[in-house]
Structure 1
Amino acid sequence: MREEGRRLCHRTGYRWLVRSIGFAARTKCVDSRADGTCQDGGSRVPKASVKAIDLDRTGLSAEDAAERIFRELIAGGPEYEVGLQIDGGRMTPALELAPLKAEVGARTGGPAVLLVSGGARGVTASAVTELARAERLRLILLGRTPLEEEPIVCRGIEDDAGLKRALLEQVKAEGAAVALPELGRRVQRILMNREIAANLQSLRELGSEVVYVPADVQDTSALREALRPIRAAWGPITGIVHGAGVLADKAIADKSVEQFDYVFDTKVGGLRALLAVTEEDPLALICLFSSVSARSGNAGQADYAMANEVLNKCAQAEAKRRGPGCTVKSINWGPWDGGMVSPLLKKHFEQRGVNLIPLKEGTAAFVAETSNANGPVEVVIGGGSADRQTLIEGAVEKEWSAELFLPKQPLPPWLDDHRIGGKAVVPAVIALDWFVRAASAAYPHLAVLQCQNLSVKKGIVAGENGSTEKRLILTCRDRSDGLAQATLSFELRGADGQLHYTADVEMGIKAEVAPTCRAAESTSGGADWGWSLSDIYDRNRLFHGPGFRVIRELTGLVDEGAEAIFWHDDSTAWSLREGGIDPAMIDGGLQLARLWGLRTFGEPTLPTTIGSYGAYGSLPEDRPVVCRIRSERRGRYKTVSQLTWLNEAGEIVAELRDVEMHIVANHGKED
């Protein structure tokens, strides 16, 4: 596992580095059937919890190792794969958007001699052809299809139906018979032979030398024998491209052992054979065609996902073993616009919002990766742009939960300094912070784009005098494509089942440039507030203690809104915690909305709903922040406000939209 950190998009394609970061949350589940249902055919709720734990046992007793595994299973994160370090650290693979470099470095010496499995047809052939445009190669292409002369009656006929008619007429003329499935197989062999011949011709026209070897990529003995005369003519092999692969998509319950082996062994057994027959060769390149399903899984592809993840791990091991003299890549491809994606499947992908990799962009990405000796070993490449990044069919829905405990005495500032009617009450912004942190823990490689529809169902009051620990249950219905998008629906309940808060969090790859935000017009000036800071904080207009007192100056008041300057001091420094929302600063906006309601209508309010929260930059820690609100009263008991936070440069760094605050009778009225 490695840490990388670059973020850029490449035209209509995009690519992720696999990196590692640590976090904590709870376990999530995966579906067991291709259609997302459980084996009983009923609910789509997953019934299996799946996790791979890589534990460094250096110096650990069996009991200590068991304890660490137990803690991970009970309270670990919702990801599938985790590494537990000897120092107590916790690492998990994550993905980060990264630049795709397209420079091709000049190779020294003669032309590279590449051994390519699956390279005579499909996307592997297209990728190798693109590489041949950049440099002269010597190519050994392995394929399962033997080259045959096609029947004379088929020459000049291009369409499938015409070929079948010609073959059927020939069979009839010979007084024989043929079953329709066999007729279809003969036509398929003719079309595959034509494709191979055309690809070989294209490569030769580009200046490369090509030998086609019809062989089973898993047959080490046959490969060794076939390579003898080629080595004698061309010298040692200098690179491997392993593109061979097959599919047999079915739910695990419906898949036979033979089908599993067919899919798994083509990838894994094929790689084993390729490495075996080149063990004495000075390899400068190993490029493996893996799949995005290895990173995220895919319904019906347990065998394919497993095989490709083995390729990923083998690539990491080979890179470490061989050192900088060999460029090793494992490319986790999303679905291509071609290859194994039929027109019917392409239409299905489009309907599901899955982006196919255009052939031109995909082959360019292959060339870029194979020439990038200093880049990461394992990458994910898909089609589409940065704002449309679904890589694999559909999203898998999971459920997971976590326990939270309100602390005992002494209470922290976020609880002790938020008292309503003398009772310590969890602020709405703390619930918002919990949801954002839980989402970030579940998907550390994604950014929180928005927290929406935060609703206060019933306030959370700490135990009497804070003397007892209060238990809360955070549950999440989690829908994610496993890579670039996630939607999490949260509920926060008490131990008694009482629903306190709900919210939805949207996550994705954050763009380099912040989205254009709705700029709030300045409301500085206007009417005089007529209140000092002591008036608002010490005379019950606001009930907030020192830990939430971020308002430093009331600078504007109009009928439609207000403006104030916020600033942190030592009392509010608790709020400056990494990975959250800066609760004190966000709560300051709610305080300003409450003050506007008091000043305009003479009625105190409390927040009940936040339409959405968005962050587009970091709230300054030691500099002033301007908060502007636009508010209106709706009906007799409710105000609705739009809140915006701006840094000194006037850039919007955070927003709350559609904040509903309801009038609270006999609470916090002016003296």
Structure 2
Amino acid sequence: MVTNNIINSHSVVLVSGGGRGITAQCIIYLAQQYGCKFILLGRSEILETEPEWSQGCTIEADLKKRIMQHLIAQKDKPTPIKVQKIYKQLCQSREVHHTLSEIEKAEYCSVDITDSLALKTSLKPIIERLGKVTGIIHGAGTLADKFIENKTEQDFYRVYDVKVEGFNSLLTNIDIPELKFIVLFSSFVSFYGNAGQSDYSLANEILNKYAYLLRQQHPHCKVVSIGWGPWDGGMVTPQLKELFEQQNIKVIPQQVGAQMLAEELAQTQSNAAQIIIMSKPISPAAKIVTTEKNSYRLYRRLTLTSNPFVYDHVIGGNAVLPAMCALAWIANSCEQLHPGYRFSTCDNYKVLKGIIFDKELANLYCLDLTEVEKSEEEITFECLIWSETPKGIPLYHYRTVIKLAKDLKTTQTVSFEGMNIPQTSLDLRPYEDGTLFHKPRFQGIKEILELDDQQALFTCNLSNISIIDQGQFFTQSFNPYTADMLFQCLLIWVRKVYNSGSLPLNLLSLKQFNSLPFNQDFFIKMSIDEHSTTKVVASAIAYNPQGQVYLEANRMQVTPSNRLNSLFLNNTVASNDTICL
């Protein structure tokens, strides 16, 4: 027998839905590996002794014929509903008995787990015999697949209650401090969704969130919610299996799934509260593009607390939304409207009135997207972010034109022939001397290799910013946090040449050839197109050490201002001046 600190031969495991199906197969495997005790809960009523007339008969048609004969002998009318009900009860009873025969130390309890009082009454004598419960596997579930407009309230609660209320009932009736582990059987549909399964998706997603909460509340206990992909059996009918095969999604063999569960329980150092187990991720199919041009208006409420990254982008005591994050907001929204297409180009990007997280932060921001050109290969949007003042006056914040491409096969490289890369860097510390106001999440410029009146060269590497810290401005195909280095480089040049701070104003075009990743070295080569005390314009490319180009920015424009010098030094949020809505 295998042993570990979480599950061993002394463990007493409470299993919902453990008498039959996929969960039962997992329990049988765990019993073989660890020799622990199991309390199996299920709604199926089992027959202590099967009737003589049904014994030995396993073929469905023959068994149903015997059921009909039995009903006739009882002077009862053998209707299809009655025959099917008895047939189902016999099959379920046989399956539970088979499960129990495969496990040396197990007891089965027929009970509705959503009835907490009934569960308490049933569990008490079993726990007295087997010992305190040390682990929970919540595998119970049911389906009522219908499109949402056809679902009844009864349909919803039939699915929801087993998953959510059933789990609440389990926790209510055991001693949680005694638990070594809790495993929740969730589903991949909680992440991807599925037609007709809105209730099932919701219930499983609640289980996922439960896992995070319980891990926080009970750090002594391993808690994990497993979003299983489709299994070979259980709720996956032959028709569903065929559908998954058409999507090139392999079903999980029962033995393989059981082994995966055992391996997860053996991972004592794992920090994952939620995992998804599938052969391949589900990618949204590209929509069929029609010639019809549509317009969209999307709304977003911004808060400081929902976007931790802006605490590292503060000017004059107020958090300021980075221009590249506003661009990501627009690009992400366009991509979400057309799955299968990716951001390729931004043209004529203008920062009209930036968004500042201060007392004037709008209650709601609007993003208007208008399709102006459409083809199978490319979709072009005119885009505007705006808000209203309390008096109803519109304020325009960002304007641009976004192009999405169906397949970004275009690549570009730079040649290192004749390119002089200095072996030593300049002794400049822009994050420390007030040249830049950016704090750690945005500090990606590592070395300044060259800087003169006409050009500059930088090496960069930005550490990963967690999804939680990215808040409402997460990375999709475009990474705004690494792209922010483009304007940072220009701000450094302006400070060194004009001794002035500056902020992004315009960008003629930004072309993306590949996503600019976190945690990787890259160069930014910048050339100055024109400059004066009132306007500086530059172009730049970001590329990796192999010469592969990520981004190409043409005519980035900033306005130098000595007033910004002192504001850059005040780069901590002044909490008393900031309103978090």
TM-score band by shorter chain is 0.5 to 0.7
Residue type matched to 1:578 in 2? Answer: Y
Change (3 A) 1:108 1:504: closer
Q: Which amino acid aligns with 1:266?
A: V
- Tell me the alpha carbon deviations over residues 245-302 of structure 1, each in whole angstroms, 9 at most, x when there is no partner: 1121234443222222222222222222222221387222222223344455544334
Instruction: Select 1:132's aligned residue among 11, 14, 31.
Output: 31
Matched with 2:262 is 367
Separation (CA, whole Å) in 2 of partners of 1:130 and 1:365: 10
SS at match of 1:367: helix
Q: Distance in 1 between matches of 2:171 and 2:252?
A: 29
- Say if 1:139 and 1:583 are closer, same or farther in 2 by CA, change over 3 A: same
Write the distance in 2 (CA, Å) between the matches of 1:270 and 1:619.
43
Change (3 A) 1:355 1:378: farther
Q: Secondary structure at the match of 2:103?
A: helix
Query: Which among 119, 122, 145 is matched to residue 18 of structure 2?
Result: 119
Q: What is the letter of the counterpart of residue 126 of structure 1?
A: Q
Deviations 1:184-235 (A, max 9, x none): 232222222222222222223xxxx111111111233333333343333322
- The answer to whether structure 1 residue 182 and structure 2 residue 79 are counterparts is no
- Code of the aligned partner of 1:366: L
The equivalent position to 1:201 in structure 2, one of 78, 101, 118, is 101
Match of 2:111 among 215, 223, 232: 215
Q: 1:214 to 1:183 in 2, by over 3 A?
A: same
> What is the rounded CA distance, in whole Å, between the counterparts of 1:624 and 1:294 in structure 2?
41
Deviates more, 1:270-279 or 1:331-340: 331-340
- Matched residue, 1:593: none
**CA distance in 2: counterparts of 1:301 and 1:477, whole angstroms:** 32
Contact 2:380-2:401 at 8 Å conserved across structures:
no
**2: distance between equivalents of 1:402 and 1:382?**
34
Query: TM-score under structure 1 normalisation?
Result: 0.50
Distance 2:296 2:59 in 1: 50
Change beyond 3 A, Cα 1:579–1:356 = farther
How far apart are 1:615 and its partner, in Å? 2.8
Contact 1:142 1:214 in 2 (8 A): yes
1:303 — aligned with what? 199
Q: 1:241 aligns with which of 118, 123, 137?
A: 137
- Indicate how the Cα distance of structure 1 residues 166 and 578 shifts in structure 2: closer, same or farther if over 3 A, else same: same
After TM superposition, the score normalised by the length of structure 2 is 0.56
1:580 to 468, 479, 483: 483
Output the amino acid matched with 1:492: C
Cα distance in structure 2, aligned partners of 1:391 and 1:194: 41
* Shift in alpha-carbon separation, 1:377–1:523, aligned structure 2, 3 A: closer
| 8 Å Cα contact 1:355/1:389 also seen in 2 | no
2:287 pairs with 1:384: no
SS across alignment from 1:218: coil
Indicate which of 237, 257, 273 corresponds to 1:342: 237
How far residue 305 of structure 1 moved from its aligned partner, in angstroms, is: 3.5
CA contact (8 A) 2:211 2:224 kept: yes
CA pair 521-234 structure 1, distance change in 2 beyond 3 A: same
Query: 2:415, 2:547 within 8 Å by CA — same for their partners in 1?
Result: no
Of residues 457, 474, 494, the one that matches 1:567 is 457
Change in Cα spacing, 1:239 to 1:353, as seen in structure 2 (3 Å) is: same
Q: In the TM superposition, what is the alpha-carbon distance from 1:389 to its structure 2 partner?
A: 4.0
CA distance in 2, matches of 1:210, 1:391: 44
Counterpart-to-counterpart distance in 2, 1:431 and 1:280: 48
| Counterpart residue number, 1:597 | none
Contact persistence 2:6–2:266 (CA under 8 A) = no
For the pair 1:329 / 2:224, whether they are aligned, the reply is: yes
In 2, the alpha carbon distance for the partners of 1:214 and 1:196 equals: 10
Q: Give aligned pairs, total.
A: 417
Per-residue deviation at 1:136? 1.2
What residue is the counterpart of 2:4 in the other structure? 105
Q: Distance in 1 between matches of 2:340 and 2:75?
A: 70
Provide the C-alpha distance between the structure 1 equivalents of 2:137 and 2:515, rounded to a whole number of angstroms: 43
| TM superposition shift of 1:114 | 0.9
Per the alignment, do residues 105 and 450 of structure 1 end up closer, same or farther by CA in structure 2, a change over 3 Å counting?
A: farther
CA distance in 1, matches of 2:225, 2:456: 50
Q: Which moved more, 1:353-362 or 1:218-227?
A: 353-362
Q: Who is 1:501 aligned against?
A: 401
| 1:125-524 matched pairs, under 5 angstroms | 125-148=24-47, 149-172=49-72, 176-204=76-104, 209-279=105-175, 282-295=178-191, 297-324=193-220, 326-351=221-246, 356-376=251-271, 378-385=273-280, 388-390=281-283, 401=298, 435-436=327-328, 438-439=330-331, 451-452=342-343, 454=345, 474-475=367-368, 491-492=382-383, 501-504=401-404, 524=417
- For residues 42-53 of structure 1, the aligned pairs below 5 Å read none
What one-letter code is carried by the residue in structure 2 that aligns with 1:382? I
**8 Å contact kept, 1:354–1:391:** no
Instruction: Give the letter for the 2:259 counterpart.
Output: A
Contact 1:356 1:382 (C-alpha < 8 Å) held by counterparts = no
Gap runs ≥5 in structure 2: 288-294, 301-321, 353-364, 372-377, 387-393, 419-447, 460-478, 491-507, 528-539, 555-581
Give 2:168's aligned amino acid.
Answer: R
3-state secondary structure, aligned to 1:212: strand
Give me the whole-angstrom Cα distance separating, in 2, the residues matched to 1:241 and 1:646.
49
Q: CA deviation at 1:146?
A: 1.2
User: How far apart, in 2, do the equivalents of 1:108 and 1:351 lie?
Assistant: 39
Please state how far the C-alpha of 1:168 moved relative to its aligned partner.
3.1
Return the letter of the residue paired with 2:96: I
The alpha carbon displacement at 1:119 in A equals 0.6
Which residues in structure 2 correspond to 1:547-562 (within 5 Å)?
A: none
Alpha-carbon RMSD: 5.4
Amino acid at match of 1:284: K
1:323 partner SS: coil
Structure 1 letter corresponding to 2:95:
E
User: Which amino acid in 1 is paired with 2:457?
Assistant: W
Matches within 5 A, 1:603-622: 613-615=513-515, 617=517
Cα 1:295–1:280 change in 2 (3 A) is: closer
Relative distance call for 1:179 and 1:109 in structure 2 (3 A) is closer
Deviations 1:295-339 (A, max 9, x none): 555443343334334434444443333332x22223333443322
1:141, CA displacement in angstroms?
A: 0.5
Percent of aligned positions with the same letter in both sequences? Answer: 27
Alignment-mate amino acid for residue 650 of structure 1:
Q
With over 3 angstroms needed to count, the CA separation of the structure-2 counterparts of 1:619 and 1:196, relative to structure 1, is: closer
Long gaps (5+) in structure 1: 1-102, 404-429, 464-471, 479-486, 508-514, 526-549, 554-564, 570-575, 588-606, 628-642, 660-671
CA contact (8 A) 2:414 2:547 kept: no
Superposition deviation, residue 477 in structure 1: 10
Matches within 5 A, 1:532-543: none
Provide the C-alpha distance between the structure 1 equivalents of 2:522 and 2:148, rounded to a whole number of angstroms. 56
Kindly state the Cα deviation for residue 345 of structure 1 after the two structures are TM-superposed: 2.1
Q: Do 1:626 and 1:646's aligned partners in 2 also have CA atoms closer than 8 Å?
A: no
Give the CA deviation at 1:585: 11
Instruction: Give matches, 1:70-85, under 5 Å.
Output: none
Letter in 2 for 1:135: Y
The DSSP-based 3-state class of the residue aligned with 1:384 is: coil
Shift of 1:433: 8.4
How far apart in 2 are the matches of 1:329 and 1:129? 20
